Structure 1
């Protein structure tokens, strides 16, 4: 059930009122028209961000989080999604000036990757047919302690990514976990290689305390505080944009 929806930065009660359809798989969805409705002409290009709380998290009073953007940037403009969009718009060669974009939290896939019905739940997102897909997951996947779980995670990542290649040829970027994992990150890298995607290793960011939100401002909830802050978000955005710019693949 969708409980937290924004369209062009404004709360909405339904997709129908905007003529938009999307699968009911998450509580956090952000859909934007080019430049959030500003007057710059759209290139017609589309970007899809699939992630978890680092990508998008709605207000949660129980943990003291009041934002409706990537946790734990201080403002929406400072999360990695918006920093990336700004950077790409300033790169004429990227072709992504004033793109249409969607931002979705797919933590349910992370937690239930073995059984999550990808095409059933995400078919309308797949039908969005993005030109650029950013996959930023891994943190909520339980540690892979058996060869079977590693193989299953690898297989399901492949299924997820290939679903977007059936009727299109998007540029795909897969990043490693912000909280690095010696078991999950190599699988994310291999899954990227399997489909010809860019892989961005951000594991070094976790070793710098300055990249955490707790280093920038007092945050009572340890979980929120352990997310990337403004500096960490910028580092994530810079790493992904740099990979796109250089055309770096596994």
Structure 2
């Protein structure tokens, strides 16, 4: 995306969201907890879907909820902070990726994210870029970041699993504009061991192409390493 388009997108982030009931209400973090707010697509969470033979209600296609990348990030935070007070609230929606002009955020999601210690935005894989929709997606993504960025915490923007230079450039530029940390996961999906279908027997090709347990762990590791110094400086971990 050239500088003129991106500059236009930055100017447009203040546009009001088009009303559309996209996200469920977020739960308030428990008192004294350290909170992560995560918004993403099926890699973050996907409910049971018999038509694609997926029975889980966590990040596709980890073998259990304990093995998806959100849970793996929590494990790293707990290990490096010396306590178990970390909790995560995750939201799953591909509307920003498929119909960005209709995407909106619930009031409760915005309020929860603003209070969070870490906000992770992992969206972009389901967006199909062309010359007509780049500015729309970029504007919606940038507005989402500005709405969700925590008041005192760390904003994280994760690149695409099915790596796309065009989409990753939008994500990285937008993240920088919003004061966040971009996490590059380029290449992880190219390693056979990271892909679920190479580690499990999965009949649906779409599900099989998602990260398996090792892929989820690799994503979590890159997220943690990207913000480790910030978390130490903020005394959130040791």
Compute the TM-score of the two structures, normalised by the length of structure 1: 0.77
Given that residues 23 and 106 in structure 2 are in contact (C-alpha distance below 8 angstroms), is that contact kept between their aligned partners in structure 1?
no
* Of 132, 142, 161, the match for 2:118: 132
Structure-1 separation of matches of 2:28 and 2:86: 9
Structure-1 separation of matches of 2:135 and 2:186: 22
Could you tell me which runs of 5 or more consecutive residues in structure 1 were left unpaired when the two chains were aligned: 1-22, 35-41
Answering whether residue 45 of structure 2 is matched by residue 56 of structure 1, we say: yes
Answering whether residue 181 of structure 2 is matched by residue 160 of structure 1, we say: no
Query: How far is the alpha carbon of 1:152 from its aligned partner?
Result: 2.3
SS at match of 1:174: strand
Partner residue, 1:86: 75
* Of 164, 170, 175, the match for 1:192: 175
Change in CA separation of 1:57 and 1:231 when aligned onto 2, cut-off 3 Å:
same
SS at match of 1:127: helix
Higher RCO, 1 vs 2 (CA within 8 Å, ≥6 residues apart): 2
Given that residues 33 and 99 in structure 1 are in contact (C-alpha distance below 8 angstroms), is that contact kept between their aligned partners in structure 2?
no
Partner residue, 1:115: 102
SS at match of 1:163: helix
Given that residues 171 and 197 in structure 1 are in contact (C-alpha distance below 8 angstroms), is that contact kept between their aligned partners in structure 2?
yes
Partner residue, 2:202: 219
Q: How much is the aligned-residue C-alpha RMSD, in angstroms? A: 2.4
Could you tell me which runs of 5 or more consecutive residues in structure 2 were left unpaired when the two chains were aligned: 1-19, 232-238
Structure with more of its chain in helix, by fraction: 2
1:179-209, CA deviations, whole angstroms, 9 ceiling, x for partnerless residues? 0012111000001110111101001102111
Compute the TM-score of the two structures, normalised by the length of structure 2: 0.81
Query: How far is the alpha carbon of 1:30 from its aligned partner?
Result: 8.2
Query: How far is the alpha carbon of 1:153 from its aligned partner?
Result: 1.9
Structure 1 range deviating more: 167-176 or 78-87: 167-176
1:128-148, CA deviations, whole angstroms, 9 ceiling, x for partnerless residues? 132210001111112x221x5
Runs of 4+, deviation exceeding 6 Å: none
Structure 1 range deviating more: 97-106 or 82-91: 97-106
SS at match of 1:59: coil
Given that residues 31 and 103 in structure 1 are in contact (C-alpha distance below 8 angstroms), is that contact kept between their aligned partners in structure 2?
no
